[in-house]
Amino acid sequence: MIKTYSELRRFSTFRERFDYLKLGGIVGADTFGFDRYLGQEFYHSRLWKTARRDVIARDLGCDLGVEGYEIHDRVYVHHMNPMQPADIVHFSMDIINPEFLICVSHITHNAIHYGDERSLPRGPITRQPGDTKLW
């Protein structure tokens, strides 16, 4: 199933968007292997930097593009559909197409790939009268 930004926008909550994107991979699983240099070259290219800038502006620097989940650290731009070495070698336009990219925090990025949902950001707490009492 190809995941898209247009489809992702249909989900309004952070949790729904996370559930749509999660991959459930395994920490340490080989992705690019000996072709890792391809990814490094790609992520330093002008095309990637331009696409990254545009996605951050579109998502207002918010985690999964959800307002109220501003990223106050480094913003990652996540490929919703895992990129393969052939995508770089044959230059698939999908790897720079904002329709397949979304802003995420480092924690959210790892949770999407490896399934550790315990560290995901929680939504803003709705304050209630008296909830600031010390005892």
- Residue 23: what pLDDT? 87
E strand or H helix that includes residue 79: strand 76-79
- Residue 45: what pLDDT? 93
E strand or H helix that includes residue 49: helix 46-58
Under 8 Å CB-to-CB from 123, ≥6 apart: which residues? Answer: 13, 14, 68, 69
What is the rounded distance in angstroms from the CA atom of residue 60 to the CA atom of residue 126? 23
Q: Is the pTM of this model over 0.85?
A: no
What is the residue-level pLDDT of the chain in tens, covering all 135 positions?
899 999 999 999 999 999 999 987 654 455 555 566 777 889 999 999 999 999 999 999 999 999 999 999 999 999 999 888 889 989 999 999 999 999 999 999 989 988 777 778 776 667 777 777 655
Map out the domains of the chain as residue ranges. 5-26+34-119
Dihedral sign for Cα atoms in the order 89, 4, 1, 62: positive
